[in-house]
Amino acid sequence: MNKKRIAACAIILCTMVLSACGVKSTRQLKQIAKSQYGPATVISENKGQNYNSVVLEDKLQGFAYTISSGTSNVYIDGSSLGEWESTSCDFGIRLKEFAIDNSKDELNRICSQYNATWQPPDYYSKDVLLWIFVPDPQDAKAVTEECAKVLQQQNVNNRMDGIVIFAKDTNNQHLGQAELPGCSYH
């Protein structure tokens, strides 16, 4: 009998905790963004019953990113126990896009000197900023370090520290890498 009471109390407690979860307000989302990424201005917001999506403009570098909060229903054996909130943000993606867009001309100039090409990864990775394809492996260190130094100029407040630029040969084999902020090849 005691086990049934404990189980019933646990389910009631879970229901109360989950019911207390809700979509975060614009103010809460802005506070989260500020604490993680720095000051930002709200550009727009899109609210619904189960979501709130806020577009912010980064005050340090001027690019836009989105932070969102949404809820999903939680069911166990067909019974609804309430809602579960989740928060997501595309700051990292937008910061990397911004850095590459602002460095594109210089990256093209450097790569053309070595007959190399560059591209962002064809999948999302929080750690990889760029792939550089080098036809002559002897040039990998120089071209990678030069490109890393250009991209380091976009690393305001060290928000891209730890991001990597990979050098690959034309057969897509890894040759080496440079990591921000140091930019040294290894």
Domain boundary among 89, 112, 131: 89
Nearest to 64 by CA among 25, 91, 99, 31: 91
Asked if residue 19 has pLDDT above 50, the reply is no
Examine the domain organization and report whether 49 and 112 are in the same domain. no
- 168 and 150 assigned to the same domain: yes
* pTM as predicted: 0.79
Residue 46 near residue 53, CB atoms below 8 Å = yes
- Does residue 3 surpass a pLDDT of 50? yes
> What mean pLDDT do residues 94-123 have?
94
- Residue 41 and residue 9 share a domain: yes
Tell me, what's the pLDDT at 6? 57
Owning domain of residue 44: 2-89
On whether residue 184 sits in a domain, the answer given is: no
49 φ/ψ angles, rounded to the nearest 5 degrees: -65, -40
**Residue labelled with tokens 């040039």:** 139
Report the domain count for the chain. Answer: 2
Q: Nearest 5 degrees, angle CA 110-CA 96-CA 161?
A: 90
- Residue 186, domain member (yes or no): no
Q: Are residues 75 and 56 in the same domain?
A: yes
